[in-house]
Chains A and B, each alone.
Chain A
């Protein structure tokens, strides 16, 4: 039936159960929604929505992630959307589009892609209108 889509992040602080952990060596694919905390030390591919996201140095994420506070120490390929603090540590490798409000990148981190600041003149709506480019190449 109706699939309730959580489009705001849960704010209740006391609920420890809204935590998803992907341990080192574990591989998980799919869509995660409505989490308060997400801790990825293994491999996760898919869509991840969580208030707080932490990609450990052993973690590997591919897909789309969105959250308030995001910390990346591992490998990420895909789109990152952070509504508050985004921290990219020295050991991190990030490929993709990053939308952020407040960004801190440590010396040594590797970022390949596009940075977009939320609230800028050039900010983007949550559902960006796709713009055709001259060399339009759709890679899946």
Chain B
């Protein structure tokens, strides 16, 4: 389910969405398939993203589902990519699944790549 109105065809302006985290609960933000964002999305705990974004995604855990498309930057402690990324990925733990298509730069401490993924990228390891 989209937390935004599903009839919103396209975010025309650059907008920043903040999902304020509550200390006691794990916050999960799900951005559905039909959503298109120009700007940045930031969350404390968890983003599950199936839409399309030009800009930045930032959360402790970012889960990019198979239909997702990111042009820009993805930052987190744990980033899982099942969709398409054109840009930079920066995370302590990066998991690249078989459906992923990545172009750009990956900065990581630990990386796990599955057979089938298409990666044309520069990899930078840092401890």
* Chain A residues close to B by CB (< 8 Å): 85, 88, 102-117, 120, 122
Contacts and interface: CB of A to CB of B under 8 A. Distances in A.
B33 to A, nearest CB: 25
B112 A110 contact: no
The winner among B93, B117, B124 for most chain A CB atoms within 10 A is: B117
B115 A103 contact: yes
Contacts of A115: 119-123
Contacts of A116: 120
Contact of B125 (A88, A106, A111): A111
Contacts, number: 47
A115 B111 CA distance: 13
Contacts of A117: 118-120
A106 B114 CA distance: 8
B16 interface: no
B92 to A, nearest CB: 12
A60 B123 CA distance: 21
A97 B118 CA distance: 15
B113 interface: yes
B112 A122 contact: no
A111 B125 CA distance: 6
Contact of A102 (B110, B111, B116, B123): B116
Interface of B: 93, 96, 103, 110-125
B103 to A, nearest CB: 7
Contacts of A103: 113, 115, 117, 119
Given A105-B111, A111-B123, 16 more contacts: A85-B115, A88-B113, A103-B113, A103-B117, A103-B119, A104-B113, A104-B115, A107-B93, A108-B110, A109-B111, A111-B125, A113-B123, A115-B123, A116-B120, A122-B103, A122-B120
Contacts of B114: 104
A110 B125 contact: yes
A117 B112 CA distance: 16
Contact of A107 (B112, B121, B125): B112
A42 B74 CA distance: 40
B94 to A, nearest CB: 9
A122 B120 CA distance: 7
Nearest to B116: A102
Contacts of B116: 102
A108 B119 CA distance: 18
A88 B93 CA distance: 16
A61 B7 CA distance: 56
Nearest to B110: A107
